[in-house]
Structure 1
Amino acid sequence: MTDFNEAHLAFVSYHLDRRTGERRGRLDRGHGHAEILFAKNVWWPLKGHFDHLHPEYEVLDWRGKPYYADFVFAPHQWKIVIEIKGFTEHVTNMDRNKYCNELNRETFLSGMGFHIISFAYDDVAHRPELCIYLLRMMLSQYESSESKVERVNFADKEILRYAVFLARPLRPIDVSNHFSINHRTAIAHLKRLCHIGWVKPVPRGSGQRILYYQVTKNGLDNGLV
C-alpha cells in the first residue's frame, strides 16, 4: 500500500510538471508546512488518495487579480475551496483592508459557484479528527451514490440535514412539505431514522401521540457524514 510520503510526493510532482511560470512558482513556494499538514492529517486519512485535489489553485478575484487557494477539490461540476488559516496570519497580522478583501473574495467565489471551507491551523495540527468529521459532512452533500439502497440513505440524510437546519423538533408535515412527498412516505422515512437511532420520537399531548422527532447525538455524529 502506498504511504503518505510517497503519494504526496507524486501528487505535488504531478502538478508541478503541468505548470509553468508563476503557477509553478506559487506551488513550489506556497505548498508549505500548513498545507502539507492538512494533506497528511486530514485529507489522506479521509480519502487515501489525492485524486481531483489541486494544490495552490489559481482563481481570479472580483478585481480580476489572481488568487491562489490552498486547495481546490473539483471532481465533477462542483468545486470546493479549502483554506488552512493560521491565527497569526489571518487574525493578528490582518489589517482592515486585508480583512475586507478576504471577505469580498470569499463572497465573489461563492457567487462563481465555489464552495468555501476554512480550517484553523490549530485544528489541523491538534484536532484533525474534527476537521475530518466536518469535511466528510461537507463532501457527503455532493458525492452522490447510484444504488437504490444508497439513494434511500441519501434521502434520510437530507431529512436529517433539514431537521438540523430547522433547529427544532421535526414534524412529518415539515418533511412532506419540504421534500414534496406524501405523508405516508414522510412517516416511513422518520420511522427508519428512529430505527437507526438518528432521531427519536417526542410525545406531545395527553395522549402521548408522536407528533415530533428530535435529532440525536448519534444522528449528529453519523447521519451528517
Structure 2
Amino acid sequence: MGFQAEHEIWLQEHMKCRTGERLDALRRGHGYGNQLFVERVWWPLVGHFDGLHPEYEVKDWRGRSYFADLVWVVGAVRIVFEIMDYGSHGTDRTKYRLDLNRGLFLQSQDCLLYYIALDELKENPAFILSSLRSILSPYLSVVQGNALRTYTKIERDLMRAAVRHHRVIRPVEVARELELHTMTVIKYCRILVEKGKFRAIATGSSGRVTSYEYLGSLQSPDLV
C-alpha cells in the first residue's frame, strides 16, 4: 500500500485506542504541518509508521498533560519531533517561553528532541530529510536489521515502558500509556515473567500482584 492508505490506517488505529482529551488532541493536533512531515520526510525516510505516535501525551514539569506533535519510540528511546509554525509559536512571548521550557524538560527526561520549521518543510523538505537520515541512522539500521524477533511488539513495548519507569510498572498505568486494555497488559506481563524478563511484585497479606519489575539489561537488544 502507498502512503495515503498506510497513513489512514495508522491514524485510525490510534483513534480507536483513545478517548476523551487524548482523542480530542489527536483530532485537533494532527493537522497540516504534522501530515506534511509524515508525508514528505517520515515516509521517504522510514517507509512505515511502526513505533510512531501522533499527538503523544507526556506530563510536563507541572504534571500537566502536554501533547508532542510526533514521537518515535524505538528501543528505550523516545524521539520527539515538533513542527514549529512561526505564526503560532514565535509571536506570543509567553507561549514561546513555554515551548522552550517543554523542550528543555523533555530532554531532561531522556527524550531526543528535534524542532522542524514548517516553512522549511514546505519549501525545502529535502534538507530536513537528509539531516534526519544522518541523525537517525543508528536507530534506522537497528530497526531495519532486526528481522528476527524473540519478543512480540507488545512485550517489547512493556519492557521499554518499564525502563522508562525505573524498571517497575503497574498494569493499569502502563495500559493507559501504551493505549492497550489492562487485561492485555496483565496477560503479556505474565508471559514476560515466564520468559524471565519480569518479576511479579505482590503486596499485602493477600499476595495480590500489583506491579511488575523488569529484570533485563538496559542495553538489551530485546528492547529494540
- TM-score tier, shorter chain, comes to 0.5 to 0.7
Answer yes or no: is 1:94 the counterpart of 2:100.
no
User: What's the counterpart of residue 150 of structure 2?
Assistant: none
Deviation at 1:143, TM superposition (A): 4.1
Q: Distance in 2 between matches of 1:13 and 1:134?
A: 29
Alignment of 1:1-225 (within 5 A): 2-91=1-90, 93-95=91-93, 97-143=94-140, 145=142
Deviation at 1:122, TM superposition (A): 1.1
Q: Which amino acid aligns with 1:121?
A: L
**So what's the TM-score if we normalise by structure 1?**
0.61
Cα deviation code 1:11-53 (max 9, x no counterpart):
1001001111110111011111111111111111111111100
- Alpha-carbon RMSD across the aligned residues, in angstroms, is 1.5
Q: Distance in 2 between matches of 1:100 and 1:25?
A: 25
Q: Distance in 2 between matches of 1:32 and 1:89?
A: 13
Distance 1:127 1:14, change over 3 A: same
Give the structure with higher Rg (CA).
Answer: 1
Q: Distance in 2 between matches of 1:132 and 1:42?
A: 5
Deviation at 1:144, TM superposition (A): 5.2
Deviation at 1:141, TM superposition (A): 3.8
Q: Distance in 2 between matches of 1:106 and 1:126?
A: 25
Give structure 1 stretches of 5+ with no counterpart: 147-225
Deviation at 1:136, TM superposition (A): 1.1
Distance 1:21 1:44, change over 3 A: same
Give structure 2 stretches of 5+ with no counterpart: 144-224
Q: Distance in 1 between matches of 2:8 and 2:118?
A: 22
Q: Distance in 2 between matches of 1:41 and 1:29?
A: 21
User: What's the counterpart of residue 174 of structure 2?
Assistant: none
Deviation at 1:142, TM superposition (A): 3.5
Kept after mapping to 1: 8 A contact 2:84/2:115: yes
Cα deviation code 1:31-88 (max 9, x no counterpart):
1111111111111111111110000001011111111111000021001010111111
Aligned length: 143
**So what's the TM-score if we normalise by structure 2?**
0.61
Q: Distance in 2 between matches of 1:110 and 1:141?
A: 19
Q: Which amino acid aligns with 1:110?
A: Q
Kept after mapping to 1: 8 A contact 2:46/2:140: no
User: What's the counterpart of residue 175 of structure 2?
Assistant: none
Q: Distance in 2 between matches of 1:103 and 1:42?
A: 24
